[in-house]
Amino acid sequence: MRLSKQQAIGIFDSGVGGLTIAHAIKLALPNEKIIYFGDTAHLPYGDKSGDAIRYYSRNIAKFLLSQNCKVILIACNTASAHAYEEVKNEVGNKAIVINVIEPLVDFLKNKQKINNIGIIGTKGTIESNVYQNKLKAANSALNVIAKATPMFVPMIEEGFIYDDISNAIIRAYLSENDFEKIDSLVLACTHYPLIKNQIRKFFNFKVNVIDSSQIVANFTKQILSENDLLCQTADQCNEFYISDYTKMFETIARMFFEEDIQLKKLDIWKENNLAI
């Protein structure tokens, strides 16, 4: 199928996390129209089975295709780890599918100064071993210390950021001996950039804390450019859909996108008559 420059970039996540990617896309590619879907009804993805994540992701991809997207960007590490192949099969040649893991691993491959790298993410991402395997394959000398930090997502979605509660939870997860020797830490969940500076502060700013937002945005720009699909005109409004209303989603979306956001609640499962 022939794609066109005017088509939108479809982005999805379980909730607000993917907005960190959407925001980076907006900065790197200001002419592009973004259609965002936050699956807040099924949040968090990190504790769900691979089958459930594949089912949600496939149907969100179908929805984004129905909205005429040229790119389907899986702005969720958990869905990227479990559902990338499934989404690619669903989408076929109707759009370009991008996940958040490969651009980050590619970026890390060429970093000489990293010896001991920590990875934190949801249970789904860490237990999939996808980062551990890909990083080891890229550089077998790398010491990889991975840990699931499942309370971060509900904590962030509840608005506990830059406060005593989140400081205590960060301390509880990261005060492990193994983390004392890391030189870099990968935020392998798109929610975590919302507490990035808090995590940097926990390590006294001595650890290089890496998140994927800018890296994925640059990667998307490169792919669009290679395919002659960069939008030239900036006259399109972004669209934001959620499967259940949450105040936090609205707050963060307005924080990142200063425009007048029309947030639409959409039950794509009901509309497609799909049982959850």
Residues labelled as active-site residues: 76, 189
* Closer to ligand DGL by Cβ: residue 13 or 86: 13
Give the shortest CB-152-to-ligand DGL separation in angstroms: 9
Task: Point out which residues bind ligand DGL (CB under 6 A).
Answer: 13-14, 17, 43-46, 76-78, 122, 125, 153, 189-191
Torsion 186-82-56-31 (CA) sign = positive
* Closer to ligand DGL by Cβ: residue 3 or 135: 135
Give the shortest CB-13-to-ligand DGL separation in angstroms: 5
From the CB of residue 205, how many other CB atoms can be counted at a distance below 10 Å? 10
C-alpha distances out from residue 80 to 1, 83, 125, 212, Å: 24, 6, 8, 13
In angstroms, rounded to a whole number, what is the distance separating the alpha carbons of residues 82 and 157?
Answer: 22
* Cα end-to-end span (Å), the chain: 31
In angstroms, rounded to a whole number, what is the distance separating the alpha carbons of residues 179 and 11?
Answer: 32
The H or E element spanning position 70 is: strand 69-74
* Closer to ligand DGL by Cβ: residue 15 or 224: 15
**Cis amide bond preceding 103, omega within 30:** no
* Closer to ligand DGL by Cβ: residue 45 or 131: 45
Give the shortest CB-38-to-ligand DGL separation in angstroms: 10
Locus of tokens 């907005």: 19
Give the shortest CB-221-to-ligand DGL separation in angstroms: 21
In angstroms, rounded to a whole number, what is the distance separating the alpha carbons of residues 203 and 189?
Answer: 18
* Closer to ligand DGL by Cβ: residue 85 or 180: 85
Give the shortest CB-51-to-ligand DGL separation in angstroms: 16
